[in-house]
Chain A
Amino acid sequence: MNTLSTQLPNWNHRGTENTEMCSVGALQHLLRLLSVPSVPLWFNLPVMRMKPFCILACAIFAALPLSAAPVPDPIVGDLTVTPASLTLVHAQRPHSLVVMARTKGGYDVDFTGTATFRSSNEKIARVSPTGWVQPVANGTATLTVQASGKTTKVTVNVQLPAEPTPASFRQDVMPVLSKGGCNMGACHGYSLGKNGFKLTLRGADAEKDYPALTDEFMERRINRHNPAASLLLLKALGDLPHEGGVRFDHGGLLHETVRRWIAEGARDDAPTLPTLVSVTIYPEKIVAMPHARQQFQLVAKYSDGSVRDVSRTGIFNVNTERVARADEVGLVVATDLGETAIVARYEGFFAVANFIVLPPNQGFQPTPVPTDNLVDRHIITKLNDLRIRPSELTDDAHFLRRVSVDLIGVQPKPEEVLAFIADTSADKREKAIAALMKRNEFVDWWSLKWGDLLQNSRNTLSDPAVYAFREWIRAAVARNAPMDQFARELLTARGSYADHPAAAYFAVSKDTDDTLQRSTQVFAGVRMLCAKCHPHPFEQWTQADYYGVHSFFNQVATKPDPRQTGVANAKTVLVNLTTGSSTNPRTNKPQPPRYLGGGEPKLEAGVDKREDYARWLTSPDNPHFARSLVNRVWSYFFHRGIMDPVDDLRSTSPPINAPLLDALTKDFVAHKFDLRHLMQVIVTSRAYQRSSTPNETNGHDDANFSHAIPRRLPAEAMLDSLVQATGVKENFGGAPSGFNAAQLPDGNVQSDFLTLFGKPQRMEACECERDLGANMLQALHFINGKSILDRVTSGSGRPALLIQQKLDDDKLVEQLYLWSLARKPAAREVELTKKFLATYGDKRAEAAQDFMWGLLNSRDFTMLQ
């Protein structure tokens, strides 16, 4: 071993490898043969990151021959022109046409840019080469659309009012300020404005923006009598120096809209002006060929039922930038295979389209859709849509290790592995799952997760409160408490730990804002922090929503616990029933309790408002609770949630498989919020049990669960598995002796290992606080640190114990593999290992130590493959 540690630097210098068969060289050689990377996993990460580039490059190269000789894929059926007919009532509001067709191969093809458009009467309606229909005079005209040898007709009915409709501040000018970026957070939307000119962030409040434009400083910013001299226009056009740069093009839509509004007197809107009620995007779902271009159409709907095409002033973004990019007017270009959401924003409303780029169809055979499992049914359906075949199921040993780590936080012991492999019954995987759920470690593991989420920590709570809360959680997990009941108890708890341990949930919070943000994040997967100060930029939450929830929790106050004087962080949770509603700073008025995105209940004075909130939250038809919980639990068994990230759920980051999430949620509610049932549904699915080896159709897929994506073991599971493998315990400072890593009360323990591998300190209600990433320090710790080295060289360590049993080479190798990697070695591995052991001559103990050290440093240990 000494040789090994002194020569360790060589591990980073493959070229300087010693030609003599010294132990290091031999070990390295062997590990390479074993396809166990000699350099541990972390050094390989940059290679993994190269993957998208490779895919991109491959896509580009693949496209070259493709464009030279396109695969014939004829159009089937007629052209679809949207809208199929239209009525135009506003001279300044043209409407676009989107021309689509479908190919035999199942692609959607956009002909909007290449179709020819002809109007039967140019005096009634004109149509531009890009498909924009401009009303001219009242009457009816027929538009003829031709593309790809096909023809479709669209009827246009023009009904202009006798007097031209003036530009509206809210409907015309405000969207321009958003489109021009004027009211962005970095510009005049900043809370203090910029250069004395302040707009509300992203046009949140027209009531405030109107006077800012029209009468601040004696109408300095606009000149109704000489619009071209308006400071607003001169700056936005760049004709006067503007730190924010040029925002409007001369004569462009943005310039013209604002100029016209000023020329018409810069009038405010009548109170009867219809309000925006929704925006819709068309097409909502598209299956595109590589490099396809797709025009999207964004239509706003107003409270009077009128509609308007706002594609030119809406703002289009692509969620997965690798797959596509969007331009200013909703033209999206596919850049790579895959799937992304196209998110269109218009005046605080959002619309989302699903954009899928598929490879050419070369004889794809759909996988039969299973009917016996709701998870597989929806996943396979989606994969067939994407022309992806799922990978095969993983083998028994890999399955058992994966499901053990995921369910009980530690890998299986040799006897479990051997018994499982030996079992020949058809339902052995189901049986193993059921057995794992009955294990004590199951309670340890899931109590740890809840402890993280509920932030049980001595940073904010007293010692006894932390242990009491821990016990309360453990009891709930042990009896499989229904989640609705669990949440209700937490959200309505009060008193000190002695009265109700769950009151710790509130004692953790700094203030009501903290409670609100934690509660929405943990039990609804929603982040509300943005909406505290302004409307949420990516969701429809406003300050009314924020302070509405705030009002439910504002009765709670924490005071030092009079029964525990002198104890650090000893708190008691009080509820002041007389507290009224919280003040919305935007309106300076009280905001009555309002459910998250829901109604405002009529509550009697003097009640504990939390009870009503908890009842609403946990009701079976609540849109947030079960859905977010199901999604979160799912993410513990895969590399991502169905919606991701799991605690930032937004309509603008839609689920990758909505029917799957819906079905799981429905099933979870139908089973009365039974968490173990949910886990069982997930882990018994084939989707969970797939191999990480991709096939030729699913290598690019990293979101649709077509194959397992290797995950690193969480800190506690890694340490407990290491302890089990080597038989050498970890002594934690700051926790009772005998506790294993999953049983620790909180993150306040002295353990370099756990810190290094990302155990959270429980300072945030965010899953992101747990670091599951890999870094160089972890690699160096494994190679040079004591966690592995001391354990394998210990006199009571696994190698020593095995050597004492005087096993023959075959047995020894098998035992080392079983303890380290929870699997039997393959025949070739046995053979190579035996050769390796032989190079140590009579130093058999040292050979076993070195070999186990190598196994524990491999990806097969650190990752769930």
Chain B
Amino acid sequence: MKHRLESNQESRKAGTNGLHRRTSIISRRPSLSFLPICVSSVSHLWLKTVFAWFLCALPVCAADVSYQREVWPIFKRHCLGCHTDGKAKGGLRLDDIAALKKGGKHGALFVSGKPDKSLLLKQVTGDPPEMPENEPPLTAEKVKILRDWIAQGAKIDAAPKVDRPPVVIPATYAFAPSVTSVSLSSDGKLAAVAVRSEVVLFNVDDDTPPRRLATDFDLITHVEFSPDGKRLAAAGGSPQQFGGVIFFDSAEGKRQSTRRVGNDTLFKGNFSPDGTTIALGGPGGAIHLVPVDAKAEVKSIELHSDWVMAVAYTPDGKQLVSGSRDKTTKVSSVESLKLLRSIDQSTETINAVAADALTAISAGNARTLNGFDFKLALAGAEVTGSGNGARPVNNRDQYVRAYEAQPEAVMALAMSGDRKLLAVATRAAEVRVYQTDNRQRKVTIAKAPAPVFAIALNQDGSRLLLGSKSGEVQVYEVTSSKLLKTLIPVPVAASRTAAR
């Protein structure tokens, strides 16, 4: 009883607090050109106005409704949260003219000229109306707009206007942009770092000015040299708009090709050992296998129930380890594109994964770093159910290979090309490097610019590159933990660097 009372109050509050619920009632004014026809015998202007309003309340006299100016704003405000590309509840999309005309899985949205036979009107009227779901009903004015629009033939006068600000890459930044991803060439001499919408290449051993590679992505989430070092991939996209990968020639910095994948940014990934494909985490819970060859097809493995934050290939290139915001770590087969096993369920989001020859490794906000023995984890795993629901027999204790606890949430992992060293970046200032054979800590870099968002090792693990939220990038010699280079890779206005 107590609970019910409170939840009532809560819902009452929710109903009265919502700012958006009452702020914009679209005002409709009768078309003035119409007046002389309807009320030509009335001489006084105010009487005309009164009459016009009165008459225009009648369907015969309704002013022309503009889809762009009047109907689209209603869709945008009340419907687009669900009926849009990606979500499309009930199979209905309202953000695309063709899809709007087609309707959803319950059939056409409207019968042109017949509002009362139109599904749209049935959905938004009634007591209480079906739509908008969990929201107050549309006001009478808005329902009338929809009714009139259909009655007048549901004409599309102009395509809806969408405000999508263009990507802007400042020549000089006001604030040092956070480093989201880093990569080192095999020899450790060339570094690539991603900051917001651009990738920056610089030489570790000299001070030639960094090369800035602009993209049309709002956010680059992953940057990586191909194993042969000839190619550079930058993945990401614009949140809730599109995802994609851009391949650059790493020597020239020239764009080779661009692939768009899905309707939201991609996350972290990994080049296949043979360099032909890059596997990337996707927002829909899938891993996307994007081939370097622009003509080859993109393949996907649907296996997580939430964003896939990171993906790593096993050294033989046959399997993929993935970690997700759904808190699980999974192993899947590259050949069959099928889930092999959910090997772990953390208490928090997994931010990073890696793999050496024997173990899959994952870590995240739970501050634990775990290896999972492939042989034991995958041997005889009885997978029940299918897809995301796969639940293996629980013998985790037998195959987990724990590393020491981490001081803060783990943001990134880096494996040396020879798979002997594992570097761990956390929100803390301490960066740790482990030997993968015995899981012992080998090197500690004590004073990195926290929080460290990105980390990379070169082929033999002699050099370590890290990038911080603060915008700083550092290169270390691993064995001596000596700082070789530190820089902010893009120009930043002097007065503001201090503030950050």
Residues of A within 8 A of B28 (CB): none
Establish whether residues A245 and B221, one from each chain, have CB atoms under 8 Å apart when the complex forms. no
Q: Which of B4-35 contact A (CB under 8 A)?
A: 5-6, 9-11, 13-14, 16-24
CB closest residue in chain B, given A764: B1
Establish whether residues B84 and A768, one from each chain, have CB atoms under 8 Å apart when the complex forms. no
Residues of B within 8 A of A267 (CB): 499
CB closest residue in chain A, given B87: A241
CB closest residue in chain B, given A227: B165
Establish whether residues A245 and B78, one from each chain, have CB atoms under 8 Å apart when the complex forms. yes
B47 contacts the other chain (CB 8 A)? no
Q: Which of B152-180 contact A (CB under 8 A)?
A: 162-165, 167-170, 173-175, 177-178, 180
A587 contacts the other chain (CB 8 A)? no
Residues of B within 8 A of A3 (CB): none
Q: Which of these, A181, A223, A249, contacts B196 with CB under 8 Å?
A: A223
- Known contacts A245-B77, A764-B1, A184 near B14 by CB under 8 Å: yes
Q: Which of these, A184, A186, A231, A237, contacts B240 with CB under 8 Å?
A: A231
Chain B CB within 10 Å — which of A185, A217, A244, A267 has the most? Answer: A217
Residues of A within 8 A of B5 (CB): 768
A186 to B177, CA, bound (A): 34
Q: Which of these, B16, B134, B162, contacts A317 with CB under 8 Å?
A: B16
Establish whether residues B163 and A239, one from each chain, have CB atoms under 8 Å apart when the complex forms. yes
Establish whether residues B77 and A240, one from each chain, have CB atoms under 8 Å apart when the complex forms. no
Q: Which of these, A180, A218, A238, A254, contacts B221 with CB under 8 Å?
A: A218
Q: Which of these, B11, B24, B221, contacts A249 with CB under 8 Å?
A: B24
Mark each residue of chain A from 177 to 189: 1 if its CB lies under 8 Å from any CB of chain B, else 0: 0011100111000
Establish whether residues B20 and A247, one from each chain, have CB atoms under 8 Å apart when the complex forms. yes
Q: Which of these, A196, A218, A246, A265, contacts B325 with CB under 8 Å?
A: A196
Establish whether residues A225 and B165, one from each chain, have CB atoms under 8 Å apart when the complex forms. no
Establish whether residues A220 and B499, one from each chain, have CB atoms under 8 Å apart when the complex forms. no
CB closest residue in chain A, given B7: A185
Residues of A within 8 A of B173 (CB): 225
B265 contacts the other chain (CB 8 A)? yes
A537 contacts the other chain (CB 8 A)? yes
Mark each residue of chain B from 302 to 318: 1 if its CB lies under 8 Å from any CB of chain A, else 0: 00001100000000000
CB closest residue in chain A, given B162: A239
Establish whether residues B9 and A225, one from each chain, have CB atoms under 8 Å apart when the complex forms. no
A409 to B496, CA, bound (A): 77
Residues of B within 8 A of A241 (CB): 80-82, 84, 86-87, 95, 240
Q: Which of these, B11, B163, B175, contacts A224 with CB under 8 Å?
A: B175
Q: Which of these, B10, B82, B197, B241, contacts A243 with CB under 8 Å?
A: B82
Establish whether residues B239 and A231, one from each chain, have CB atoms under 8 Å apart when the complex forms. yes
Q: Which of A316-334 contact B (CB under 8 A)?
A: 317, 327-328
Nearest-Cβ distance from residue B469 to partner chain A, whole angstroms: 6
- Known contacts A220-B265, A328-B23, A529 near B174 by CB under 8 Å: no
A538 contacts the other chain (CB 8 A)? yes
Mark each residue of chain A from 307 to 347: 1 if its CB lies under 8 Å from any CB of chain B, else 0: 00000000101000000000110000000000000000000
Establish whether residues B19 and A265, one from each chain, have CB atoms under 8 Å apart when the complex forms. no
A228 contacts the other chain (CB 8 A)? yes
- Known contacts A229-B167, A229-B218, A245-B135, A538 near B9 by CB under 8 Å: yes
Q: Which of these, A218, A225, A247, contacts B174 with CB under 8 Å?
A: A225
Establish whether residues B16 and A240, one from each chain, have CB atoms under 8 Å apart when the complex forms. no
Chain A at the B interface: mostly helix, strand, loop or mixed? loop
A242 contacts the other chain (CB 8 A)? yes
- Known contacts A242-B81, A764-B1, A196 near B180 by CB under 8 Å: no
Residues of B within 8 A of A249 (CB): 23-24
Establish whether residues B219 and A181, one from each chain, have CB atoms under 8 Å apart when the complex forms. no
Q: Which of these, B13, B23, B162, B218, contacts A223 with CB under 8 Å?
A: B218
Chain B CB within 10 Å — which of A218, A240, A248 has the most? Answer: A218
B375 contacts the other chain (CB 8 A)? no
A229 to B95, CA, bound (A): 19
Establish whether residues A265 and B240, one from each chain, have CB atoms under 8 Å apart when the complex forms. no
Q: Which of A659-703 contact B (CB under 8 A)?
A: none
A764 to B5, CA, bound (A): 13
CB closest residue in chain A, given B6: A530
Residues of A within 8 A of B22 (CB): 327-328
B260 contacts the other chain (CB 8 A)? no
Residues of B within 8 A of A244 (CB): 81
A766 contacts the other chain (CB 8 A)? yes
A769 contacts the other chain (CB 8 A)? yes
A254 to B20, CA, bound (A): 11
Residues of A within 8 A of B219 (CB): 218-220, 223
Nearest-Cβ distance from residue B33 to partner chain A, whole angstroms: 29
Residues of B within 8 A of A179 (CB): 19
Residues of A within 8 A of B178 (CB): 215, 218-219
Chain A CB within 10 Å — which of B3, B20, B175 has the most? Answer: B20
Mark each residue of chain B from 141 to 157: 1 if its CB lies under 8 Å from any CB of chain A, else 0: 00000000000000000
B447 contacts the other chain (CB 8 A)? no
CB closest residue in chain A, given B238: A229
Q: Which of B293-346 contact A (CB under 8 A)?
A: 306-307, 325
- Known contacts A196-B306, A218-B180, A223-B218, A181 near B17 by CB under 8 Å: yes
Residues of A within 8 A of B164 (CB): 234, 239
- Known contacts A218-B180, A225-B175, A527 near B81 by CB under 8 Å: no
Mark each residue of chain B from 192 to 220: 1 if its CB lies under 8 Å from any CB of chain A, else 0: 00001100000000000000000000110
B476 contacts the other chain (CB 8 A)? no
Nearest-Cβ distance from residue A174 to partner chain B, whole angstroms: 15
Q: Which of these, B2, B167, B241, B496, contacts A240 with CB under 8 Å?
A: B241
Residues of A within 8 A of B168 (CB): 225-226, 229
- Known contacts A184-B17, A229-B165, A317-B16, A218 near B453 by CB under 8 Å: yes
A844 contacts the other chain (CB 8 A)? no
Mark each residue of chain A from 528 to 569: 1 if its CB lies under 8 Å from any CB of chain B, else 0: 011000000110000000000000000000000000000000
A215 to B82, CA, bound (A): 26
A711 contacts the other chain (CB 8 A)? no
CB closest residue in chain B, given A318: B16
A235 contacts the other chain (CB 8 A)? yes
B106 contacts the other chain (CB 8 A)? no
Residues of A within 8 A of B19 (CB): 179-181, 247-248, 254, 328
Q: Which of A734-788 contact B (CB under 8 A)?
A: 764, 766, 768-769
- Known contacts A225-B177, A245-B77, A265 near B9 by CB under 8 Å: no
Chain B CB within 10 Å — which of A231, A244, A538, A769 has the most? Answer: A231
A634 to B2, CA, bound (A): 23
Mark each residue of chain A from 354 to 365: 1 if its CB lies under 8 Å from any CB of chain B, else 0: 000000000000
Residues of A within 8 A of B240 (CB): 231, 234-235, 240-241
A433 to B294, CA, bound (A): 96
- Known contacts A239-B163, A265-B175, A245 near B20 by CB under 8 Å: yes
Residues of B within 8 A of A181 (CB): 14, 17-20
Mark each residue of chain B from 274 to 310: 1 if its CB lies under 8 Å from any CB of chain A, else 0: 0000000000000000000000000000000011000
- Known contacts A245-B20, A317-B16, A538-B9, A225 near B77 by CB under 8 Å: no
Residues of B within 8 A of A184 (CB): 13-14, 17-18
Q: Which of B226-268 contact A (CB under 8 A)?
A: 238-241, 265, 267
Residues of A within 8 A of B18 (CB): 181, 184, 245
Q: Interface residues, chain B, CB within 8 Å of chain A?
A: 1-3, 5-6, 9-11, 13-14, 16-24, 76-78, 80-82, 84, 86-87, 95, 132, 134-135, 162-165, 167-170, 173-175, 177-178, 180, 196-197, 218-219, 221, 238-241, 265, 267, 306-307, 325, 451, 453, 469, 496, 499-500
Q: List 8 A-B contacts (CB under 8 A).
A: A181-B18, A196-B325, A219-B178, A225-B197, A234-B165, A241-B80, A241-B240, A530-B6
Question: Which 8 A/B pairs are nearest by Cβ-Cβ distance?
Answer: A243-B81, A228-B165, A241-B84, A231-B239, A226-B168, A218-B180, A229-B165, A241-B80
Task: Beyond A241-B240, A248-B19, list 8 extra A-B contacts (CB 8 Å).
Answer: A184-B13, A196-B307, A223-B219, A235-B240, A242-B80, A265-B175, A265-B496, A327-B22
